[in-house]
Homo-oligomer: A and B are copies of this chain.
Amino acid sequence: MAVHLADRLAAALTRTQSRVCVGLDPASEGVAQALGRPPDAGALWEFNQRILDAVQPYCGVVKPQSAFYEVWGPEGVEALRKTLVRARESGFVCLLDAKRNDIASTAAAYAQAYLADGPLACDALTVNPYLGSDGIAPFLKVGRPAGRGIFALVKTSNPSSDELQNLRVESGALLYEAVGNLVATWGADNLGDCGYSDVGAVVGATYPSELAHLRRRLPQTWFLIPGYGRQGGTAADVAPGFDAQRLGAVVNSSSGIIFAGKDRPDVDFAVAAGEAARAMRDSIEAALDARSM
């Protein structure tokens, strides 16, 4: 019997004493600078191996962003495949950020691609909820037997996320709240031992009041919190995303960690990434310490 996604996330956070998720977004310019040579798909894989080794002491969750691999075509997807295999073998919980969404047999194909035991298997996939329940059910059908799950976009970190997500709908709720309610419903019939479900929510660090509000409304929903660091979110901003046991959320940082060496030409890029991951871990723990005083 596969271990439930929610429990694997909880174990990863407890084991590492870290709420950090490192975003593996190997943008070309950053990789070129780090490795000191023009990038290609092979460079992505080389870069990622070094990053994974460097951050492993400081986090138990990683999140490759599919776009940065797809841009290299089939060879980039091969670099993604190797990265996923290596990260999972190293014990990381792997969230693949691909924001897939479709219906019926197409959603089933995406689910088969990412939540079954194929070449691109991950532990959880980000998905877009705009198509409603039809676009979610196929992912759960494929993912659940394998202890895998999804994170649905609820309140994204970008400035224009208000345009649609903060429209007030007829029930009186805002659209993102209505989506949050659906997310809770989708996950309610498959809770892990830790009390959380396998249908998480993406909630940006850049909207801390919405984050706090959603934490109260969705007590069984894991949050994936992007927008920390270069997008503006702070440790104090993300603290309300966690429950009293410091579970229920992972906070992602991508370029702030993997390209932390950008302005430090005297330091190896992987060493800089490890230090940045440790500093982020410590900042979040300190914010949670302050909260519980």
* CB-based contact B160/A133 at 8 Å: yes
Query: A89: CB under 8 A from chain B?
Result: no
Interface string of A242-283 (1 = CB under 8 A from B): 000000000000010000000000000000000000000000
Indicate the size class of the contact surface on chain A.
35 or more
Which B-chain residue is minimally distant from A114 (CB atoms)? B70
* CB-based contact B103/A158 at 8 Å: yes
Binds B, one of A9-17, A53-61, A163-171, A213-221: A163-171
Chain B residues with CB under 8 A of A158: 103-104, 131-132, 134-135
* CB-based contact B67/A73 at 8 Å: no
Which residue of the partner chain, among B67, B109, B135, contacts A70 with CB atoms under 8 Å?
A: B109
How many angstroms between the C-alpha atoms of A156 and B106 in the bound complex?
A: 13
Q: Which of A90-133 contact B (CB under 8 A)?
A: 99-107, 109-110, 112-114, 118-120, 128-133
* CB-based contact A67/B163 at 8 Å: no
* CB-based contact A68/B106 at 8 Å: yes
Which residue of the partner chain, among B103, B133, B169, contacts A175 with CB atoms under 8 Å?
A: B169
Which B-chain residue is minimally distant from A27 (CB atoms)? B105
Which residue of the partner chain, among B70, B77, B106, B132, contacts A162 with CB atoms under 8 Å?
A: B132
How many angstroms between the C-alpha atoms of A160 and B103 in the bound complex?
A: 10
Which residue of the partner chain, among B71, B113, B182, contacts A67 with CB atoms under 8 Å?
A: B113
Q: Which of A161-200 contact B (CB under 8 A)?
A: 161-165, 167-170, 175, 178-179, 182
Known contacts A99-B128, A101-B99, A163-B182: A106-B168 contact under CB 8 Å: no
How many angstroms between the C-alpha atoms of A70 and B73 in the bound complex?
A: 11
How many angstroms between the C-alpha atoms of A78 and B255 in the bound complex?
A: 29
Query: A237: CB under 8 A from chain B?
Result: no
* CB-based contact A106/B164 at 8 Å: no
Interface residues of A (CB under 8 A from B): 25, 27, 65, 67-68, 70-75, 77-78, 81, 99-107, 109-110, 112-114, 118-120, 128-135, 153, 156-165, 167-170, 175, 178-179, 182, 255
Give 19 new A-B contacts, CB below 8 A, not counting A164-B175, A169-B175.
Answer: A25-B105, A67-B100, A67-B102, A68-B109, A70-B113, A71-B112, A72-B118, A72-B119, A74-B74, A74-B81, A99-B101, A101-B128, A103-B157, A128-B128, A132-B161, A133-B160, A134-B160, A164-B179, A169-B169
Minimum-distance CB pairs A-B, first 6: A73-B119, A132-B160, A132-B163, A67-B109, A74-B78, A134-B160
